[in-house]
Amino acid sequence: MAEAVRFEEVFPDLYRLAYRVSFRVLGDRGDAEDVAQETLARTHLRWARLRDSPHGWVVTVATHLAIDRLRRRSRATESGGEPVALVEAHLSERIDIARALGRLPRRQREVVVLRYLADWPELEVADALGCSPGTVKSHASRGLAHLRHQLEERGIRGGRDVRASG
Amino acid sequence: MFEHLDDPSPPEPSARTLGAVLARAAHLRRRRVVSAMGAVAVGALSLGVVIGAVASGPTTSQTFAAFDSQTGLLALGTPVPSTDLASVVFVGDLRGFALAVHSTQTVLAVSTDGGGSWTVADPSLPMSFPAQFEFSDAVHGYLWGGPPSSTGIVPLWITANGGRTWTRAGVGPVVSDVSAIGPDVWAVVGTCPISSSAGASCPVLVEISTDNGQTWAQPGAAPPLREDSEVSVSDENIEMARITPSRAYVLSFASRAPAPAAAGSLTYTADGGRTWGSRADPCPSYFDFGEQIAASGTEDLWMVCASQASAGSQAKALYRSSDGGEHWSLAAAANAPVLTGGRVLPSGGGLSSEGYVTPYSLAHENLAVLTTKDAWLFPDRSGVFETTDGGHTWGVVAGLDKSGLVDGGSGNVVFVDATHGWVCEAGSGLWRTTNGKDWERLGP
């Protein structure tokens, strides 16, 4: 029987994954580090259940935490507070992406997040979500179309760059 | 598709990153109290292995390798690299104790040369990192604050032989903070085991031992403190600052961000715990996510109040009292309005918004106050700051930076007198001053 994977062994990879996803949403290093740490802390608490396949869970939690934080930041900015973040590149685009993701049906959102926010191949997304590659392709196509439509309405680069690959 | 949103130079996870994650996990776990304690304990105790794996520099790596390559329980007297220390306390300018991590064990290390070298005194402590500990002299020590048991108990362990053996003290069920002055030991005790959901508000007691923790009693009335069993009794949101054998302050606060709420509760006794009175907690709403209290004398109190943290920044305020907490005045503030609901305090000085003063700090003592003028502050994910004018202006301790302290780490700062102090940065190393100004890095 294979020895169970220890959290510490895969911690660097999982942290990089959570950070990349968080940064794509937040655009701020400090916030992305916070979200990655929170994600990994939660992962650690559930390690006995997650250790065989933690990556999808990490991406999902990091995305949700990042979107929540972006919403709070957006609300604070709108209410007149000065944002702490020093890096605000593509902020409006990030906010629109977060909003657009939030409006996708759950399964489409899961597929789009894993496939395009985390850059996973279709086969791995299918494996993580327990569905067929064909289902992934279908959800990805519809999700992308939905996302592209919303982003293009706002003239966002991410909208123009959307390609239904693979 | 989203590659243009990537960080062009993402940070590499380090030992300190793992330490911060494990501390957060322990904090979350305390709130949830799940029964499977092994994961947190093993994970936290394994910190040293990963520290060793990611530490930079050949000398450090070699030292780590030598330390970590030993399997099983370490033998008494085994050398411990300073880079493996998680937190330190000193009982004089030469003798100190430290928590370290080795494989799946939390280790007590001892130094008799001012922190220059460390050896194993107990290879397997009964409570795992991130526990808190204190020694009143070379032989009497106290260990508490680690992860709760599956039934929500956080006991106090005592030693009377320099940490070689430990016995469980008859105080509890949840020991939140301990202070020992000679044989006179005080413990802040939560009366309800930590529960997995919001429960009854439970009284908080201060129990006292006059025989190095062997026997305990409540000397008089309980302090006017109550804590939600889910939130803060047992975790780092309650703190005792003991000024003299008979005078102490107990600070209780809860991390309620982002909603504004009443500040925490501050109580004090001046008669050895027989009676307790209330003092106002000066921390305003939105500045009470993390609070630290310290004192240089019976009347001189310092209170650091900190907001919700984000993006490496945190709004902070320093309040001072010269009459034992009767009145407070703002000495300095660092503002981050987005983290304080737009509330801005007059800055009036040089506190830095850099770094976090949080309930889930890896070490629990971020503030060291020596005199009415001199103090040090070591927020998480930051450097060490010092003031020499009573807290009005603060500056980075340049000597630490120059001697290798990593900006962005976590640890504790302790002093035993006006000139002898130590800074321990978990996973990074140990520094000492013998004149209160200049710092040197100690050991491998």
φ/ψ of residue B152, rounded to 5: 85, 20
pLDDT at A144: 81
**pLDDT (tens digit per residue) in B411-428:** 788 998 888 999 988 767
Taking the C-alpha atoms of residue A30 and residue A66, their distance in angstroms, rounded to an integer, is 12
Q: For B59-92, give one letter per residue: b (16+ CB within 10 A) or e.
A: ebeebbeebbeeeebbeeebebbbbbbbbbbbbe
Fill in the amino acid letter for B340.
T
Chain B 222-281, residues with CB within 8 Å of chain A CB atoms:
258
Q: Which domains does chain A have, with CATH numbers?
A: 1-89 (1.10.1740.10), 90-166 (1.10.10.10)
Cβ of A23 within 8 Å of Cβ of B22? The answer is no
Mean pLDDT calculated for residue range B38-53: 33
B36, B428 in Cβ contact below 8 A?
no
Which 3 state secondary structure label does DSSP give B55? coil
**pLDDT (tens digit per residue) in B117-151:** 999 999 999 987 668 899 999 999 999 887 667 67
Strands B238-242 and B248-252: antiparallel
Residue of B nearest to A86 (CA): B311
Could you tell me which of A45, A22, A17 has the C-alpha nearest to residue A33?
A22
**pLDDT (tens digit per residue) in B246-288:** 999 988 875 443 444 445 788 999 999 999 999 988 998 888 7
Which candidate from B25, B43, B338 shows the least CB-CB separation from A81?
Answer: B338
B284, B297 in Cβ contact below 8 A?
no
Q: How many CB atoms lie within 10 A of CB A103?
A: 12
Residue whose structure tokens are 């220390």 = B85
Q: Which residues of B touch A86 (CB under 8 A)?
A: 311
Fill in the amino acid letter for B319.
Y
Fill in the amino acid letter for B184.
D
Residues in chain B: 444
Taking the C-alpha atoms of residue B152 and residue B56, their distance in angstroms, rounded to an integer, is 39
Q: How many CB atoms lie within 10 A of CB B394?
A: 23
Whole-Å CA distances, B69 to A158, A165, B53, B102, B337: 49, 48, 11, 10, 49
Rg (CA), chain B: 21
Token digits of residue B405:
């302290």
Cβ of B43 within 8 Å of Cβ of A47? The answer is yes
**pLDDT (tens digit per residue) in A61-111:** 888 888 777 776 665 555 554 444 434 556 666 667 777 777 777 778 878
Fill in the amino acid letter for B96.
G
Fill in the amino acid letter for A103.
R
Regarding pTM above 0.80, the answer is: no
Cβ of B342 within 8 Å of Cβ of A69? The answer is no
